[in-house]
Amino acid sequence: MSREIQLTEQILDLVGDRAEAEVLASTGNLALTRFANSFIHQNVAEVGEAVSLRVAVDGRVASAKTTATNDDSLGSFVDAALETAAMQPVDDDWAGIAPPSLIPPIVHADDATYDATPEARAALVKEFVDAGNGMLAAGYCQTEGQSAAFANSAGQTASGRSTSAIIDGIHQSGTSAGSGHAASVAIGDLDGAAVGALAAKRATDSATPFDTKPGEYEVILAPEAVGTLAVFLGFYGFNGKMLSEGQSFVDLGSQQFDRRFQMWDDVTDSRAMGVPFDTEGTPKGHLDLVIDGVTRGVAQNRKTAKKLGVESTGNNIPGSDGWGPVPTNVFVGGGARPVEEMIAGVERGIYVSTFNYCRILDPKTMVVTGLTRNGTFMIENGAITGAVTNMRFTQSFVDALGDGTILGLGNDARFADSEFAPGIMYVPTMHLASWNFTGGAEG
């Protein structure tokens, strides 16, 4: 019996018949190699165990988490959770614990990544740094491996194993910086030299930027910029809590997007990451969010599903009581066009490498404000003609993807970094008809 399964059984035995209970236990490691000024300056690794417990006593619900997993600590941990539940008001929206159900036999794990050494991460960092040809490099390489098990007092059990690897960094000239990013289940899939070369090219090409006037521009958005669109749409829109509270833009069954726009959540995809069940023990699967521009679904957990009269989609995550369930394996459909071909089709526009410091202004309209960063370029007569200084935008993400606005989809879909969800957005480059730049970086 694995350690994480042992922990779930031990916790349920300690709870006994005093409450409804669900337990998620994990074991694993998280390791990070950081570099700055083209030198590795920190290598840290954390190996440990964690247990999350939720109990319900006559509709009074409490949650707790601990990393102290010895026998004495676990007994006190369970007692404290039950005492806390007894002091809570009755939660009228409590949907009960998940019934027994089958979990998809999906494994997104790689042994070499689970057991990745500092030397393996350092080799990727060296590739990234060397690609800069003497420019100063900074960033990180991260590997993670986790084994998780779930059990509840209704008899539902689940277990899974997952890994991830990320290389992310910038190259800097005296006046500019360019970024690169790659992520995968397997560290062997990452090409530090290619990521570093992209960052170096963006830094070199943006060494002498000029100011340009604010206004509406055609844009080519690189995957990191598209990843930001996707994570904001998922977090604030395709979210059952936001929908049930009337805060989401979502109008199910309506043509809210361009007919080329496809977006879905799918742990069963061979490219996905994570385990095939959520923190409530509900199986994950394929969830269509947008098909041919028509909004088809939102992420649900047990509480939001009860309020909306539907079934949970398996999208509960830590913190969902506060911000709701969100898609966790997001894919945006790509196309067949090389990036160079999309650029060649722009008479006058802006190429955006990444967005930064984005903040939602109105979730109902998905108006977001933010900045460009690490490589913003003017496109004129089908060619990049120079770098422009960072620009501020204020833009409805739904309007930017509205009917007739997507002019091209790249053939370069990959995992992209984003504002607050690195590694879970698999997206292509996009050519959009219009983006509202409202000023320079100062306002």
Residues 144 and 281 in one domain: no
Q: Could you tell me the mean pLDDT of each successive run of 10 residues in the chain, 443 residues long?
A: 95 97 97 98 96 97 96 95 97 96 96 97 98 96 98 98 97 94 97 98 94 96 97 96 97 98 97 96 97 98 96 94 93 96 97 96 97 96 96 98 97 90 85 94 59
Rounded to an integer, what distance in angstroms lies between the CA atom of residue 171 and that of residue 65? 39
Residues 67 and 216 in one domain: no
Residues 144 and 259 in one domain: no
Here the CATH number for the domain that contains residue 171 is: 3.30.2290.10
Letter for the amino acid at 398?
V
Q: Which helix (H) or strand (E) holds 307?
A: helix 302-308
The reply to whether 361 falls in a domain is yes
Rounded to an integer, what distance in angstroms lies between the CA atom of residue 149 and that of residue 49? 11
8 Å CB contact between 329 and 279: no
Boundary (domain end) residue, out of 147, 177, 197: 197
DSSP 33-61: EEEETTEEEEEEEEEEEEEEEEEEETTEE
Residues 93 and 232 in one domain: no
The pLDDT score that the predictor gives to residue 322 is 87
Task: Tell me how far the alpha carbon of residue 78 is from its chain's centroid.
Answer: 32
8 Å CB contact between 144 and 138: no
Residue showing tokens 């409202």: 438
Please report, for the chain, how many H helices and E strands are present, in that order: 11, 19
Residue showing tokens 């398996």: 314
The reply to whether 202 falls in a domain is no
3-state secondary structure of 324: coil
The reply to whether 421 falls in a domain is yes
User: Positive or negative CA dihedral for 134, 221, 421, 389?
Assistant: positive
* Structural domain count, the chain: 2
The pLDDT score that the predictor gives to residue 319 is 86
The pLDDT score that the predictor gives to residue 424 is 77
Residues 331 and 388 in one domain: yes
Q: If we measure between CA atoms, which residue out of 250, 219, 216, 254 comes closest to residue 378?
A: 219
Residues 132 and 214 in one domain: no
Residues 166 and 251 in one domain: no
The reply to whether 242 falls in a domain is yes
Boundary (domain end) residue, out of 173, 197, 221: 197
Range of the domain at 322: 209-443
Residues 190 and 216 in one domain: no
Q: What share of the chain is helix, strand, coil (3-state, %, to 5)?
A: 25, 40, 35
The pLDDT score that the predictor gives to residue 320 is 87
The pLDDT score that the predictor gives to residue 442 is 62
The reply to whether 221 falls in a domain is yes
Residues 239 and 295 in one domain: yes
Between helix 71-86 and helix 3-15 the angle, nearest 10°, is: 50
> What are the structure tokens assigned to 407, written together?
């002019």
Residues 46 and 14 in one domain: yes
Residues 237 and 185 in one domain: no
Rounded to an integer, what distance in angstroms lies between the CA atom of residue 295 and that of residue 211? 38
Sorted by sequence, the CB contacts under 8 Å of residue 260 that are 6+ apart come out as 293, 333, 335, 406, 409
The pLDDT score that the predictor gives to residue 50 is 97
Rounded to an integer, what distance in angstroms lies between the CA atom of residue 337 and that of residue 168? 25
The reply to whether 203 falls in a domain is no
Residues 333 and 219 in one domain: yes
Q: What pTM was estimated for this model as a whole? A: 0.95
Boundary (domain end) residue, out of 170, 197, 224: 197
Rounded to an integer, what distance in angstroms lies between the CA atom of residue 250 and that of residue 398? 10
Q: Which helix (H) or strand (E) holds 434?
A: strand 430-440
Q: If we measure between CA atoms, which residue out of 85, 128, 98, 132 comes closest to residue 315?
A: 98
The reply to whether 204 falls in a domain is no
The pLDDT score that the predictor gives to residue 441 is 62
The reply to whether 229 falls in a domain is yes
